[in-house]
Structure 1
Amino acid sequence: MGRRLITYRPSWSTRIGRGFVVMILAIAQSALASQSVPLEQHSGMPRAVIRVRESATVQGKEILLKDLAEITARSRPLVEALETLPVGQAPPPGLTRIFDPALIVIKLRQFRIDPADIRIESPRQVIVAGAHRIIESSRLFEVAKAAVLRGRDGDLEQITVRPDTLPTDLVVPPGEVDLRARPRPASACPEPCRRVDMGSIPVVVEAWVDGRLYRTVSLVVRLSLMREVVVANYPLPRHTVVKTTDVRLERRDIGSLTHEPLQDLTLAVGRRTTRMLAMGDIVISNAVELPPLIRKGDLVTVIVEAPGLRLTAKGIAQEGGAAGQVVRVKNTASGREILGKVESDQTIRVGP
């Protein structure tokens, strides 16, 4: 890329004034020469030279002249003033912008620095990049993983964590980076509910740079809790009494379940299903129940007991019930409806 010389063109009155100064300098030079006194070596040289580079990387929100150029000047105060001269807005970290060196003269005037006798050598344009560093998505995941596993020391050997969704690599400005992650609160689920916060968990990761929050990103991680649980071998329609051959134990991910799964075959065998179970379904606690010993309309024996008293009567069950459940039963003799506890397939006990 060719370089160009940016010159400051003074007004006609300024040029006349300069001509007068040149004439005075010529007279002074002649007088000094006759007295053998040399002129200063920098006489006739520019006050400062600004050599602008073709590209630059800047840090912060502003572009300073020292970011773009090499600066030499006759005096140190002038060098410092030129170096700290803001000439434009810096691009965000990781991005670039094109800077027009012609703006330097405008900025000199804006900050009351006389561009006269300042030589500017520059390319046609300057590519300015924002200084940055990259935080890879894998590191963001590791920070999120540590956050969701915090406080789960007892289950660490049985929990696996993998990313569901990952953000792209994070671009941040240079500096001391501190990543802070926090899981979002889990949504409520109806009781009885396994509040173990498994399955897909949204996590917020904050990137702090030099003690200030710079960027917040979101990702989702999936927690799998592996346990040996009861699984259906075949499709089981609703109200099927489970047999030994109907179920098996299998190691499965129970992280997404909202109710406790059965982990003992004896808790399923002999009970009946409360809903349809497909082949391979995990049998959870509310998917089976004790089968009713008494059905609605069954003729039963009602036993009434009190201290020093025991009576029996015939009754008709007004609703079905399993062992230990309290059901309504009507006395066939009196027509009175009472409550009793199912004791067997033909007996309902009333009283303590």
Structure 2
Amino acid sequence: MTALLMLAMLISWSPKQALEQHLLANYPWDSIVVENISYDGRMPAEKPVNILVQRGPVGNGVFLFEFPDGTFKKVHARVEAKQQVVKTVRPLKRGSILKKDDLYVGEVDVRHLPKNAITNPEDALGKVLKRTVRADMVLSEGMIRERPTIKKGQKVRIIYERPGIRLIAPGLAREDGYRGKSIKVLSLWSKKVLVGLVKDSSTVSLTP
């Protein structure tokens, strides 16, 4: 009878499964694989009440299993963790508006994840690329921006409203504008540059 089989008969829990469950519960990763787990001596019969990370946890990790009686057991393990992220199907140019067939979801080793990687395709659809990207590139929040509600050079309606007064003038957007944000517009009546709020795809409000 092998030593591993004898050990399995002595304890009713798996150190490998305990470590995997702890990591999945405490880290925002989609999949975790624990391999090459090793430790000295025998494990207590009861499951650990806590697991502390001494090194890692990804890669060649070192962990401390804490047990109900206050004792600790040092455990070495190789840990691989992956996260599902949004990636590009093909090369895309700066200024491209992202569509469903431009994107797919794939797993990436968490050690190679860019900061603020996008994990939900819905968070990227309809957004505009701020830079050119290659195929199979992980998208991050810093690589995209909202699609402008009003584009620079677009004709707009400039509205000014107060109790008993409603004025509408034609204008031109001097910059890209986003719903609820400030935008500079040129009044075609006064030839002055004004600052208002974007209300919709063709309307800028000067109402205070």
TM-score (norm 1): 0.38
Give the whole-Å Cα distance in 2 for the aligned partners of 1:305 and 1:269.
35
Give the whole-Å Cα distance in 2 for the aligned partners of 1:198 and 1:287.
29
| Cross-structure match for 1:235 | 91
CA contact (8 A) 1:198 1:256 kept: no
| Cross-structure match for 1:277 | 133
Give the whole-Å Cα distance in 2 for the aligned partners of 1:289 and 1:245.
18
Match status 1:326 vs 2:198:
no
Q: Give 3-state SS (helix, strand or coil) of 2:205's partner.
A: strand
Aligned length: 159
Letter in 2 for 1:295: K
Q: What's the offset of the Cα at 1:323?
A: 3.0
| Cross-structure match for 1:259 | 115
Give the alignment of 1:287-326 within 5 angstroms: 287-326=143-182
Letter in 2 for 1:310: R
Q: What's the offset of the Cα at 1:255?
A: 3.4
CA contact (8 A) 2:175 2:184 kept: yes
Match status 1:226 vs 2:98:
no
Structure 2 counterpart of 1:154, from 17, 22, 26 = 26
Give the whole-Å Cα distance in 2 for the aligned partners of 1:299 and 1:198.
56
1:131-169 Cα shifts (integer Å, max 9, x gaps)? xxxxxxxxxxxxxxx9xxx9985128745589xxxxxxx
* Structure 2 spans left out of the alignment, 5+ residues: 1-18, 36-52, 63-76
Letter in 2 for 1:251: E
1:78-123 Cα shifts (integer Å, max 9, x gaps)? xxxxxxxxxxxxxxxxxxxxxxxxxxxxxxxxxxxxxxxxxxxxxx
Alpha-carbon RMSD? 3.6
| Cross-structure match for 2:100 | 244
The answer to which structure has the higher helix fraction is 1
| Cross-structure match for 2:71 | none
Q: What's the offset of the Cα at 1:303?
A: 1.4
* Structure 1 spans left out of the alignment, 5+ residues: 1-145, 163-180, 184-196, 204-220
Q: What's the offset of the Cα at 1:319?
A: 0.9
Give the whole-Å Cα distance in 1 for the aligned partners of 2:101 and 2:79.
32
1:273–1:157 distance in 2 versus 1, CA, 3 Å: closer
Match status 1:268 vs 2:140:
no
**Percent of aligned positions that are identical:** 25
Match status 1:345 vs 2:171:
no
Give the whole-Å Cα distance in 2 for the aligned partners of 1:277 and 1:347.
33
1:222–1:331 distance in 2 versus 1, CA, 3 Å: farther
Q: What's the offset of the Cα at 1:325?
A: 3.0
Larger Rg: 1
1:345–1:223 distance in 2 versus 1, CA, 3 Å: farther
CA contact (8 A) 2:178 2:198 kept: yes
CA contact (8 A) 2:30 2:82 kept: no
1:315-345 Cα shifts (integer Å, max 9, x gaps)? 1211112333321112222222221222333
Q: What's the offset of the Cα at 1:233?
A: 0.5
1:239-282 Cα shifts (integer Å, max 9, x gaps)? 10111111111222233434222222222121111111211111
Match status 1:335 vs 2:207:
no
CA contact (8 A) 1:224 1:255 kept: no
Q: Give 3-state SS (helix, strand or coil) of 1:240's partner.
A: coil
